[in-house]
Homo-oligomer: A and B are copies of this chain.
Amino acid sequence: MTEINVSHSEPVFSISSAAKLLNISVHTLRMYEKEGLIVPFKKESKQRSYSKSDLDRLNCIRNAINESKISINGIKTIYSLIPCWQVVNCPEENRKKCEGYNGHGKPCWTYNHPGTVCENKNCRECEVYNNFSECGKVKELIKSI
Contact = CB atoms under 8 A, between A and B. Distances in A.
A68 B143 contact: no
Give the bracket for the number of chain A residues in contact with chain B.
Answer: 20 to 34
Contacts of A85: 143
Interface string A40-77: 00000000000000000000000000001111111101
A134 to B, nearest CB: 10
A24 interface: no
A93 to B, nearest CB: 15
A96 to B, nearest CB: 12
A82 to B, nearest CB: 9
Given A74-B74, A142-B142, 9 more contacts: A68-B73, A69-B71, A70-B73, A74-B77, A81-B81, A81-B142, A83-B142, A104-B139, A105-B135
